[in-house]
Amino acid sequence: MVVTNVLHMNTGVGETSYASNSTHQRKVLLKARPVLEDALKELYTDHRLSAQCLQIADLGCSSGPNTFLFMSEIIDTLHGLSKQSNCKAPELQIYLNDLPGNDFNSNFKAMPTFYNNLKEEETEDGSGRVCFVAGVPGSFYDRLFPSNSLHFAHSSYCLHWLSQVPENLENKGNICITTTSPPKVYEAYMKQFQKDFSKFLSLRYQEMVPGGRMVLTFVCRSMEDPTSKDWTIWELLAKAFLDLVSEGLIKGEDVDSFNMPYYTPYKDELKTIIEMEGSFHVESLEVFEHNWDHNDEDNVHRSADNISSLFRAVCEPLLASHFGDLFDVFEKFSKNVSDHMCQEKLMVNGIIVSLSMK
């Protein structure tokens, strides 16, 4: 499986699309807002960065309302800072990056409306548009931008995706790390994450200007223990696939040979990687817990459906690239989630890291 070719959120704006099922991610984006604003403020007041145009990247932008929420947030914050300091707002070039299978067309079709709404924000001298948006297809585990060009990079809820599934995994009956996975499975995943995240940092270091800043938000583990209950959600999805196997709809070997390109580090693990790689200072690091269900519903069935819809919007193309027909796996998954939630809620931890270039 070449992750770059098959990983993307569900396209379009339909019932199962990412655009219609990304309230969870919206909440994460709003959670990170104060950190984002602080980083932009420091960027704005850094006199090394008196550029006529600030170059900003959203790495893993996906499509739909969250993509536009991020851009509005950036523009509003920087315009607010300009007003406060009585300066003309800088021009902004915002790069929306995601893998080549992402639905850029949906974002691009919404751009005329976005630009029209921005008109009020145009410079008073009538010199026109102050924000220029471009789409950049490619993996953030590769170079994406010219050297020494980027002022600010942002990534929300993407860096838990690995560049590839670790090689030679023996993880039968599972589709990710589980509490019962052999230690070698955890170690292989951890090493892949270390390699990927280090590469991510060193690539961005090449692309950024001195004084450049990054704010990264992604899923993390709540505890150091690698076999923690943070993996429960994937066990419940694996169980749904195993049910399909027992019904003779898919083959057991298809489950055995599939593993998610997904890993969530513990905060100390992340700090160590950043220090070892050496390109960036950690300005702040914050862990938060929230419900996988964005609505935090009391009704376990509705709650389970919300979670299943979220996972479907995010994972369906990836899973379909391996299994082909997915039958009613997301209904089964919802049932498993619902059963589990009779005992306890399904929580998830996120980490917000603010970094500055050394």
Query: Using CB under 8 A as the criterion, which residues of the chain lie in contact with its own copies when the complex forms?
Result: 4-5, 52-53, 91, 93, 95, 100-105, 108-112, 115, 127-129, 132-138, 142-149, 206
Nearer to its own copies, 143 or 184 (CB): 143
Task: Return the number of the residue (147 or 246) whose C-beta is nearest its own copies.
Answer: 147
Cβ 110 to its own copies, closest distance in Å?
A: 8
Phi–psi pair at 39, nearest 5 degrees: -65, -40
Shortest gap between Cβ of 209 and its own copies (angstroms)? 12
Nearest distance from residue 96's CB to its own copies, in Å? 9
CB atoms within 10 A of CB 282: 13
Minimum Å distance from CB 91 to its own copies? Answer: 5
Q: Name the minimum Å distance from CB 105 to its own copies.
A: 5
Within a 13 Å sphere around the CA of 36, how many CA atoms are in the beta-carbon half?
Answer: 25
Question: Least distance to its own copies from the beta carbon of 56, Å?
Answer: 12
Distance of CA 238 to the CA centre of its chain: 22
Instruction: State the Cα–Cα distance between residues 206 and 279, nearest whole angstrom.
Output: 9
Helices H / strands E in the chain, number of each: 12, 7
Q: Which is nearer to its own copies, 48 or 143 (CB)?
A: 143
> Are 215 and 38 within 8 A, CB to CB?
no
Q: Is 212 helix (H, G, I), strand (E, B) or coil?
A: strand
Number of other CB atoms surrounding residue 99 within 10 Å: 20
Q: Give burial (CB, 10 Å; 0-12/13-18/19+) of 23.
A: middle
Which residue, 95 or 330, has its beta carbon nearer to its own copies? 95
> Which CB, 120 or 344, lies closer to its own copies?
120
Nearer CB in complex with its own copies: 55/66: 55
CA distance between the termini of the chain: 36
Q: Quick check: 164 and 261 in contact, CB under 8 A?
A: yes
